[in-house]
Amino acid sequence: MGRFNLAQMNQGETKTIIDIQGGHGLIKRLESLGVRCGIRITKISSQLMRGPITIKVGNSQVALGYGMAKKIILE
């Protein structure tokens, strides 16, 4: 299976996060909303023109910017 980031993932797919390519700050921030390595997430929507991406993580939904989404690597 290939590696790709959240921005490239298809809508409706569910994948496991295997890496977050960011500094300590970003990792902590994502983590505080439950987005971290080993977690399965589902992509719900993405906005036009590199707009934010919404994912389902656990029982909640989180919207995050395109730049952040590119740093979230899934398998």
Partner 1 sequence: MGEIYPEGIKKIFLMGNPNVGKSVVFSRLTGVQVIASNYAGTTVEFTKGYIKLGEKKAEVIDVPGTYSIEPTCKAEEVAVSMLEDAISENKDGNIVINVIDATNLERNLNLTLQLLKKNIPVIIALNLWDETKHTGISIDKEKLEKILGVPVVPTCAISGEGIKELVSRLPQAKAKTFDYAEEERWHELGNIIEQVQKVTHRHHTFLERLGDASLQPVTGIPIALILIYLMFTIIRFIGEGLIAYLFEPLFEKLWAPVMMKLSVVLGSEGFIHNILIGKLVGGEINFVESLGLLTTGLFVPIAMVLPYVLAFYLVLSFVEDSGYLPRLGVLVDTLMHRLGLHGLAIIPMMLGLGCNVPGALATRVMETRRERFIGATMMAIAVPCMAQIAMIAGLIGKHGAKGLGLVFGTLFLVWVALGILLNATIKGYSPEIFVEIPPYRIPSLTTLMKKLWMRTRWFLQEAIPYVLLGVLIVNILYSLRIIEFIGELTAPVVTGILGLPKEAVGALIIGFLRKDVAVGMLSPLGLTLKQLVVACVVLAMYFPCVATFAVMIKELGALDMIKSAGIMIASALLVGGALNLLL
Residues that bind partner 1 (CB under 8 A): 28-34, 36, 44-45, 47-52, 54, 58-68
CB of 4 to partner 1, least distance (A): 20
Whichever of 2 and 6 has its CB closer to partner 1, that residue is 6
CB of 12 to partner 1, least distance (A): 10
DSSP character for 2? -
- How far is the C-alpha of 48 from the C-alpha of 67, rounded, in Å? 14
Whichever of 64 and 74 has its CB closer to partner 1, that residue is 64
Phi, then psi, of 20 in degrees rounded to 5: -125, 115
Q: Which amino acid is at 59?
A: N
Structure tokens at 8: 């490239």
